[in-house]
Amino acid sequence: MGQRAFYQQYFYDENVYDLHDGGYKKLAMPAVPEKALAMPSVLQPDRVQGHEAWYTIVAQTGETAILPGKLTQTWGYNASLLGQTLILEDGWHYHVHIENHLPETTTLHWHGLNIPGPITDGGPHAPIMPGEAREIEFTLHQEGAQTDWMHPHPCPNTARQVWQGLAAMVIVTDEHAKNLPIPQEYGVDDLPIILQDRTYHDNQLDYEADYDVDGTLGTVPLVNGTVNGVFKVTTAQLRLRLLNSANRREFRLHFDDGRRFTQIAGDCGFLEQAIDLDRLMLTVPERAEIVVDFSDCQPGDRVQLMSDDAVLCTFEMDEFTKKAQAIPDHLFDVPKWQVDPDSQLQTTVMSGMDDEVLLDGKRFDMTRIDRQQLFRQTVDWEVKNTNDACGGMIHPFHMHGCHFQIISRNGQVPYPNETGFKDTVGVNAGETVRIRVCFDVLGIFMYHCHILEHEDTGMMAQIEVYDPKHPKTYDLKPMHEM
pLDDT at 245 over 90: yes
Domains and CATH numbers, the chain: 6-16+181-322 (2.60.40.420), 26-174 (2.60.40.420), 346-481 (2.60.40.420)
The DSSP H or E segment spanning 452 is: helix 452-457
Sign of CA dihedral 89, 90, 94, 97: positive
| CA angle at 29 for the pair 276 and 277, rounded to the nearest 5° | 5
Strand bridging mode 6-7 / 302-307: unpaired
Above 80 in pLDDT, residue 70? yes
Q: What is the pLDDT of residues 102-148, one digit of tens each?
A: 999 999 999 999 999 999 999 999 999 999 999 999 999 998 999 99
Q: Which amino acid is at 250?
A: E
Q: Is the pLDDT assigned to residue 3 strictly greater than 90?
A: no
Neighbour-count burial of 95, counting CB atoms closer than 10 A to its CB (0-12 exposed, 13-18 middle, 19+ buried): middle
What is the per-residue pLDDT for 390?
Answer: 85
Chain-wide mean pLDDT for the chain? 97
pLDDT digits (tens, 9 = 90+) for 400-412: 999 999 999 999 9
pLDDT in tens, 303-340: 999 999 999 999 999 999 888 999 999 999 999 999 99
Q: Is 442 helix (H, G, I), strand (E, B) or coil?
A: coil
Give the mean model confidence (pLDDT) for residues 68-77.
98
Q: How many CA atoms lie within 13 A of 131 on its CB side?
A: 0
Evaluate the CA torsion angle 144, 255, 244, 36 in order and state its sign. positive
Q: What is the mean pLDDT of residues 336-352?
A: 97
Q: Phi and psi of 14, rounded to 5°?
A: -60, -35
In whole angstroms, what is the distance from residue 41 CA to residue 83 CA? 8
**Mean pLDDT value of segment 355-381:** 97
Is a pLDDT exceeding 90 seen at residue 1?
Answer: no
For 365, residues 6+ apart whose C-beta sits below 8 A from its C-beta are none
pLDDT over threshold 80, residue 300: yes
**Cα 132 from Cα 139, distance rounded (Å):** 24
**What three-state secondary structure class fits 176?**
helix
Would you tell me how many other CB atoms lie within 10 Å of the CB of residue 173? 16
pLDDT of residue 481: 80
